[in-house]
Structure 1
Amino acid sequence: MTLRLLRPALGLAAALVPSIAFAHTGHGDTVGFAAGAGHPVDGLDHVLAMVMVGVFAFQLGGRAVWLVPATFVGVMAAGGALGMAGVNLPFVETAIALSVIVLGAAVAFGVKAPVAAAMALVGAFAVFHGYAHGAEMPGAAGGAAYAAGFMLATAALHALGVGFGATCGQLARIYGPLATRAAGAAAGLAGVAILVGAA
């Protein structure tokens, strides 16, 4: 059963590796809500981490379904402020790649962490994701709209992850958890590839 689960995950990760791109390589002059909303979906690292936050929250259930994503968005805003202020935060790309690996592994192994621990985990990673957005946010008047855009897009990706987990759970009581765990394994493997690319 483990091998049957691992094969699709490896295949998906292999298919994603050629398209892996960081969302923080510099976007030039980007302003406004639309540019901010587009930034989180412009890089595979952000997309995978955000969706895995949603799936992880769904797997935990109860209050975690909204508390874990809300924590991520709130702490990400603080990280964005650090980036806007020009504070030097080391190892940003490495931490973002690690977030994909750790969150993917949490989903793949069905980790049942206490809600507070899950909030602390995603919050620690959210600082780096937010910093990456904030460091590229323009200082012009459109900066606030840009921030609102990337926060809303992040929340939408979390919701997508929660929806994915819920859909898998409804499709089949037996195979639904396997599907979400395979997705987590694929995300984790893609995160390893991203980490190697960041090194």
Structure 2
Amino acid sequence: MMIQNRSICLRTSTLCAAVILPLLLWGQPAAAHTEDPGFVGGFMSGFSHPFYGWDHVLAMVAVGLWGAFLGRPAIWILPIVFPLIMAFGGVLGIAGVPLPAVEAGIAASSVVLGVLIALALRSPLWIAIIVVGCFGIFHGHAHGTELPSANSPITYSIGFVLATGLLHLFGIAFGLLIGVPGGRLAVRTAGAAIAVGGLSFLLGVW
């Protein structure tokens, strides 16, 4: 039975690497945010934009992963809190309210969340909300400063939020592997990979 469990664990970890490593290879450490060619459009531009910033992708997946790892009610509260606080940060960005080290904060979100997952650290729900919320402000502020240049800010925002939600769902779905043999190691391995990806962005920012 132990041999079988180890085999399942190995296959699951391999799947994890196959999913996460392409994100690390395709990311561009020298620039935390890149702009897609159709940025000034509406819904489709907003929907596609998160996928052009791999720092955002890693952080969104990490929020879902950590929520799944912490279990209920965090599994659904964290993916709700993040977009709400991100919207607040977006308002600050649109209003031109300065926020220091925005890109570094975005990159750090992947590092911190990835480490929390990799080390299997559990925290009270209120602390998890604060951690996720703080990083949400940075993500929202960065995109809020870009939002006014869109032709249709409302449809752009809808597309952006929808894409963010899908990334959260992907993280949650992967995090649910924790309930199968070898799944816990797979989730922690994914966290480590996210942390490494975030670190590469952080070094590029600095």
**Global fold match (TM > 0.5):** yes
Give the shorter-chain TM-score range: 0.7 to 0.9
| Distance in structure 2 (CA, Å) of the matches to 1:113 and 1:190 | 23
| Distance in structure 2 (CA, Å) of the matches to 1:14 and 1:116 | 31
2:184 to 173, 177, 183: 177
Cα 1:51–1:13 change in 2 (3 A) is closer
Per-residue CA deviation, residues 118-177 of structure 1 (Å, 9 max, x unaligned), is 0110000000101111111135661111111111111111111001111x234x33x100
Kept in 2, the 8 Å contact 1:105–1:188? The answer is: yes
Runs of 4+ in 1 over 2 A off after TM superposition: 7-19, 21-29, 138-141
Match of 2:47 in 1: 37
| Distance in structure 2 (CA, Å) of the matches to 1:80 and 1:43 | 16
1:77 offset after TM fit, Å?
0.6
Kept in 2, the 8 Å contact 1:13–1:190? The answer is: no
Amino acid paired to 2:27: I
1:136 to 139, 146, 150: 146
Which shows bigger deviation, 132-141 or 84-93?
132-141
Cα 1:15–1:68 change in 2 (3 A) is closer
CA RMSD of aligned residues (A): 2.5
Unaligned runs of 5+ in 1: none
1:85 to 77, 95, 101: 95
Question: Equivalent residues in 2 for 1:1-199 (5 A)?
Answer: 16-21=23-28, 22=31, 24-27=33-36, 30-139=40-149, 142-166=152-176, 168-170=177-179, 172-173=180-181, 175-199=182-206
1:41 offset after TM fit, Å?
1.4
Normalising by structure 2, report the TM-score: 0.84
Per-residue CA deviation, residues 27-73 of structure 1 (Å, 9 max, x unaligned), is 57513111111111111100000001001000111111111110001
| Distance in structure 2 (CA, Å) of the matches to 1:57 and 1:12 | 19
Aligned length: 192
Normalising by structure 1, report the TM-score: 0.86
Unaligned runs of 5+ in 2: 1-5
Cα 1:40–1:14 change in 2 (3 A) is closer
Kept in 2, the 8 Å contact 1:30–1:138? The answer is: no
Amino acid paired to 1:154: T
